[in-house]
Amino acid sequence: MSAPESSPNADEANVETPDERADRNFIELLQGFRVAVTGVQVLFAFLLVVPFSTEFGKVDDFGRSLLYVALVSSAIASICYIAPAAQHRVLFRQGLKEPLVHRSNRLGLAGGVALLIAMVSATLMVVDHLFGGLVPMLTAGTLAALATWLWFVQPSIHRFNGT
């Protein structure tokens, strides 16, 4: 069976203008953010109600500090993931989509770092409350390493090596 013939205009049909590419890139960024923002908002909501639970009085200063870090980090992640949509509304039809795409990408990376910190500190708080000892630090360290590898290091290696 032979390969399908390509028409002389096949390449022309796949060519994007810079504006079309910026639109596509922005839509792809927002789709990725939708996945993350739901989880961030659930975590943020959970962290907001923790201090009002009846058992919170038993949490030590270390746990309270972890809650603070997790709460602020999840708020920062929410802000970073929501910012591109808000900025798009402000910049609508101003011809600034390409800078918005670049800025949104940086905000997504910052949101990922903040989310990593929030998830690790919230997990550390809970596991420390449940078990104490070395288990919480091993768990938090493993989660931090896994998220750092999968979210940032591995894609960076592929980006710079082209593999």
- Distance, in Å, from the CA atom of 147 to the CA atom of 72, rounded to the nearest integer, reads 19
25 vs 114 pLDDT, higher one = 114
DSSP strands (E only) in 25-158 = none
- Distance, in Å, from the CA atom of 21 to the CA atom of 24, rounded to the nearest integer, reads 5
- Tokens found for residue 91: 């910049």
Radius of gyration, alpha carbons of the chain: 21
Answer whether residue 29 shows pLDDT above 80: yes
64 vs 97 pLDDT, higher one = 64
Average pLDDT, the chain: 88
Q: Which H or E element spans position 42?
A: helix 18-49
Q: Phi first, then psi: what are they for 24, rounded to 5°?
A: -65, -45
Whether the CB-CB separation of 148 and 120 falls below 8 Å is answered with no
- Distance, in Å, from the CA atom of 9 to the CA atom of 12, rounded to the nearest integer, reads 5
pLDDT at 11: 53
pLDDT 10s digits, 31-76: 888 888 899 999 999 999 999 999 888 899 999 999 999 999 999 9
pLDDT at 13: 61
What CA dihedral angle connects 76, 79, 82 and 84, to 10 degrees? -100
pLDDT at 152: 94
